[in-house]
A = this chain, B = another copy of it.
C-alpha cells in the first residue's frame, strides 16, 4: 500500500511537471519501461520488428492508435504527461526535449512500452550482486554491437547491449537471476570479450557512462538492451518519433515480480 501511494504521488508530480529527473531507483518493485511513440503507418512494422527481436525489444504494452492511457499496465495514466522527460525526433534528429507532449500529440500516434533493465537490475541487487554504476550514480554503459537484429520491412539494425561489470564469482548467479526474467531481456547475450560482439573500445560507449572496475576480479557482462528499437527506428529516419529521455522512464502499475518465471 505504501508503494502504491508513492506511485500515485510520483505519477502526479511527473504529470504536473514538478518531477523531471531520472526514475532510477524510484518505486522499487514497480516495472519501468522504455517509451517509443510513432505514427500508425509505421506501427505494424515496428511491432513486427519487436516481435522478431524479443530479447532486445520486450513488449510490455502497445496502445492502439490515438490512445494515451496505458490501460492494461497503468489504468488512469496519461502517456502524454506521465514520463518525466521526452525527446522529439524528426527524421532521426532530436528537435526538442520536453516534460509533456500535449502539443506534439497526434491522433495517429501509437505508443509502445518496452521492458527496461531496471527490472532485472533490481533482481541482481536483491540477490546480493553489487552494481557499481548504482553506487557511482552513473548510467549503465551501452554499445551498438555487431549482432544483427532480425529486420522487418522498414526497420533493421544491430542490437544495442548494456554492460555491467560483474565479479567473476558472481557471474553464475547473475546468469541464473536474469534468466528468470525471459521477457525482460533475460540472461546475458555475451560475457567476457567485447570484441567478440563488435565492441572495439569498451571505454567508449555509444550511450551512458563508462568506468573502470576496481580490480581484475571483474568481467564485462552484456545484456540485450531496450534502447535497440529506438536506435533502429531513428536510424530509419522515421519522420517523427517520440521517446522518453534516457533514464527518464514510464513507471507502470505492474510489478517486476509479474515478469519473473520460476
* A residues at B contact (CB < 8 Å): 40, 43-45, 47-48, 51-52, 59, 61-62, 64-65, 72, 110, 150, 152-153, 182, 261
Not counting A44-B65, A45-B64, A47-B51, a sample of 14 additional A-B residue pairs whose C-beta atoms are within 8 angstroms of each other reads A40-B44, A44-B44, A44-B47, A44-B64, A44-B110, A47-B47, A48-B62, A48-B64, A51-B62, A52-B72, A65-B153, A72-B150, A182-B182, A182-B261
Cα–Cα distance between A58 and B52 once the two chains are bound (Å): 13
Cα separation A40 to B42 with both chains bound (whole Å):
12
What is the bound-complex CA distance between A48 and B62, given in angstroms? 6
- Residues of B near A62 (CB, < 8 A) are 47-48, 51
Residues of chain B lying within 8 A (CB to CB) of residue A59: 51
Q: How far is the CB of A236 from chain B (nearest CB, A)?
A: 14
Nearest residue (CB) in B for A67 is: B153
- What residue in chain B is nearest A180 (Cβ atoms)? B261
Complex: A65 Cα to B182 Cα, angstroms = 29
Bound state CA distance, A20 and B48, in angstroms? 30
Which residues of chain B come closer than 8 Å to A152, judged between CB atoms?
Answer: 64
How far is the CB of A72 from the nearest CB of chain B, in Å? 6
Task: Show 26 residue pairs from A and B whose CB-CB distance is below 8 angstroms, ordered by the A residue.
Answer: A40-B44, A43-B44, A44-B44, A44-B47, A44-B64, A44-B65, A44-B110, A45-B64, A47-B47, A47-B48, A47-B51, A47-B62, A48-B62, A48-B64, A51-B59, A51-B61, A51-B62, A52-B61, A52-B72, A64-B152, A64-B153, A65-B153, A72-B150, A182-B182, A182-B261, A261-B261
